[in-house]
Amino acid sequence: MIGPVPPLPPWVDDANAPLLVDLYELTMAQAYWREGMADEEAVFSLYFRQLPERRNYVLACGLADALRFLERLAFAGEHLDYLESLGHFSRAFLDWLAALRFTGEVWAVPEGTPVFPEEPLIEVVGPIAAGQLAESFLMNQVCFQSVLASKAARVVTAAGGRAVVDFGLRRMHGADAGLKSARAFHVAGVAATSNVLAGRIYGVPVAGTMAHSYVQAHDDELEAFRAFARLYPETVLLVDTYDTLAGVRKVVELARELGGSFRVRAIRLDSGDLAELARRSREILDRAGLERVEIFASGGLDEDRIAELVALGAPIDGFGVGTDMGVSRDAPVLDMAYKLTAYAGKGRLKTSPGKPILPGRKQVFRREVAGEAAGDVIARAGESGPGRPLLERVMAGGRTLAEDPGDLERARERARREIGALPARVRGLAPADPPYPVAVSAELAGYAEEVRKEVEAG
């Protein structure tokens, strides 16, 4: 008798990522294969249909993971055995699937670029079966990373140059989000993360202070501050475990004790009326000659609250932002789509109400006037403007072309530059009025009309 099979590790990795698909992608792949269509060239376009209410732009993020998936797409034997057990797939198809690799090309907007509705973030051009199998994974990664980068860009804007630190790991949706959100936030201008693994894997600067539990574990708050500052002289002390201002006075007491060796960098406020507590803490610190001790604030912050604190002139030098940024609470999702726009050299669309598709391969041109983005045009691939083309060829023959498509510092620098080039009303927190202008080129509009007529005739 065979004992119970040990459960599989509950993790996604390069080896099992190809199974992170919706079943229909595999059943469709088998159908394409049976119909002799599987190797015919298709174009899939990844874009979103509408901006969420509180977003003026979306910051593209997640391309590096998309390319990694396509480059490594390969089903392992044990995955094929599992698929066979589902009863939908023939062994002949699974043998064919075992050899399947993505051999096509990818055009994409680089990470850190602001994008707008209907603009392709990624176009996958290759045999239809492999392109179809990438649908869910590419959407999953690009959607959430772009959602979170877009939220973080607002928080960074609100902070107006003050440092923002990501504290969101504990409230994010799972380990993969915890890891990759820290990277997406850094692309968007967040200075550092509390997440150590994100530091290890991506090189995001890691930062941290102390938790209430540390203070609680000591019988006395001052003793906790003393012990922590002894070990970490330039630390940040959390002052609100009991009475916030009494906590600040204990920091002053510690400074008196330590004299010239007191090097505590900041205090952290985590509850209560942050503007008022920051003002009163600043007074207490300044009166004690501790002008260079900074004030760091956290606790339920989002871009609105930060903008309010900044507008009130609260003497806060940096913000720790967790929950609201960590799940992009006001807009946790984008209406993202991955749609077939061409097959066998012919443009494709669908006519379901409210969900149009722009057919064929496309390019997006961004016009700039005196260094400011003046409007985008979605055009057919091969058109020549007006403006700067945003989609670049990043993969050919199934191999990534860019030196390092996941280069974090380049993506961060691009985001800084490209957000900075948006009109002030689009960069800002309030709804842009008018919204950033995006047009469809006459050639693409004409082509869409032509394809629609063919489909309606067919």
Per CB under 8 A, 351 contacts its own copies: yes
Residues 316-345, interacting with its own copies (CB under 8 A): 323, 326-329, 332-336, 338-340, 343
Stretch that binds its own copies, among 117-125, 201-209, 288-296, 430-438 (CB under 8 A): 201-209
* Contacting residue, 144, 185, 319, 436, with its own copies by CB under 8 A: 144
* Separation of alpha carbons 171 and 301, rounded Å: 14
Stretch that binds its own copies, among 102-110, 233-241, 410-418, 433-441 (CB under 8 A): 233-241
Per CB under 8 A, 3 contacts its own copies: no
- Pick between residue 31 and residue 74 the one whose CB is nearest to its own copies: 31
Stretch that binds its own copies, among 106-114, 172-180, 285-293, 386-394 (CB under 8 A): 172-180
Q: Taking the CB of residue 34, how many other CB atoms lie within 10 A of it?
A: 12
DSSP class of residue 87 equals: T
- Pick between residue 159 and residue 224 the one whose CB is nearest to its own copies: 224
Q: How many residues bind its own copies (CB under 8 A)?
A: 124
Q: CB of residue 305 vs its own copies: minimum separation in angstroms?
A: 15
Per CB under 8 A, 453 contacts its own copies: no
Residues 251-310, interacting with its own copies (CB under 8 A): 270-272
- Pick between residue 250 and residue 366 the one whose CB is nearest to its own copies: 250
Residues 36-75, interacting with its own copies (CB under 8 A): 37, 42, 44, 64-65, 68
* Separation of alpha carbons 357 and 448, rounded Å: 9
Sign of CA dihedral 60, 62, 68, 74: negative
- Pick between residue 96 and residue 214 the one whose CB is nearest to its own copies: 214
Distances (CA, A) of 131 to 83, 127, 226, 245, 340: 19, 6, 59, 59, 9
* Separation of alpha carbons 447 and 359, rounded Å: 8
- Pick between residue 197 and residue 312 the one whose CB is nearest to its own copies: 197
Distances (CA, A) of 197 to 50, 70, 184, 328, 338: 33, 24, 14, 21, 31
Are 370 and 378 spatial neighbours (Cβ–Cβ below 8 Å)? Answer: no
- Pick between residue 14 and residue 257 the one whose CB is nearest to its own copies: 14
* Separation of alpha carbons 77 and 261, rounded Å: 62
Are 299 and 269 spatial neighbours (Cβ–Cβ below 8 Å)? Answer: yes
Are 347 and 458 spatial neighbours (Cβ–Cβ below 8 Å)? Answer: no
Which structure tokens are listed for 72?
């490594």
Stretch that binds its own copies, among 176-184, 257-265, 281-289, 368-376 (CB under 8 A): 176-184
Q: At what angle do helices 23-34 and 91-99 cross, to 10 degrees?
A: 100
Stretch that binds its own copies, among 254-262, 303-311, 352-360, 382-390 (CB under 8 A): 352-360
* Contacting residue, 41, 101, 163, 199, with its own copies by CB under 8 A: 199
- Pick between residue 44 and residue 116 the one whose CB is nearest to its own copies: 44
Nearest alpha carbon to residue 152 among 221, 204, 214, 210: 204
Per CB under 8 A, 232 contacts its own copies: yes
Q: How many residues does the chain have?
A: 458
Beta pairing class for 236-238 and 192-193: unpaired
- Pick between residue 147 and residue 411 the one whose CB is nearest to its own copies: 147
* Contacting residue, 56, 146, 150, 194, with its own copies by CB under 8 A: 194
Per CB under 8 A, 127 contacts its own copies: no
Stretch that binds its own copies, among 196-204, 259-267, 285-293, 360-368 (CB under 8 A): 196-204
